[in-house]
A = this chain, B = another copy of it.
Amino acid sequence: MGRRPPLPLFSISLLGVEDAVREGIAQTLAWLTPLELSEDETNTVQLVLAEALNNVVEHALAGTGGQTTVEIRGHHGASGLDLCIVDKGIAMPDGVVPRLPAPDVTVDVADLPDGGFGWFLIHTLAQDVTYVRRGKHNYLTLRLAVAL
């Protein structure tokens, strides 16, 4: 690891609605400025965050209509960037990280999937994905091999 200025353990709070995700990602990237991520690394961060946050908003917080906030926490260290998403929504199905394969695209146009790629992208881009539920909170940790 090069000698970069240290990153504190940052935290960002956003409203648990679809329209807040973009701003949450932008604020995360602002914290990551000292890491001088490459364009591809920056895209990995954005994409993984977008998929994870969209899932929280659409599934864990479905129907709450933005009365609750979501936190993005971040830590950078020798093993890369850890992003942790904390929400007060419903737990993951079966209490584990969904491990869904990519939907099949070798089908007729009319049958093409227009969704269901979220977890596939997360697992593809993250080194490690862990989930725990503690109390009324979900903690999803995404380890990204960026700024190593």
Contacts and interface: CB of A to CB of B under 8 A. Distances in A.
A11 B73 contact: yes
Contact of A77 (B78, B132, B134): B78
B78 A6 contact: no
Copies of this chain, complex-wide, total 2
A28 interface: no
Nearest to A84: B9
If over half of A's interface residues share one DSSP class (helix, strand or loop), that class is named, otherwise mixed; here it is strand
Contact of A75 (B6, B71, B82): B82
Contact of A79 (B79, B132, B141): B79
Interface in A10-44: 10-11
Interface in A101-148: 130, 132, 134, 139, 141
A74 B75 CA distance: 9
Given A130-B6, A141-B9, A79 B82 contact: no
Q: Which 6 interchain pairs have the tightest Cβ spacing?
A: A8-B139, A9-B84, A6-B130, A75-B75, A9-B73, A78-B79
6 contacts: A8-B84, A8-B86, A8-B132, A9-B86, A75-B82, A77-B79
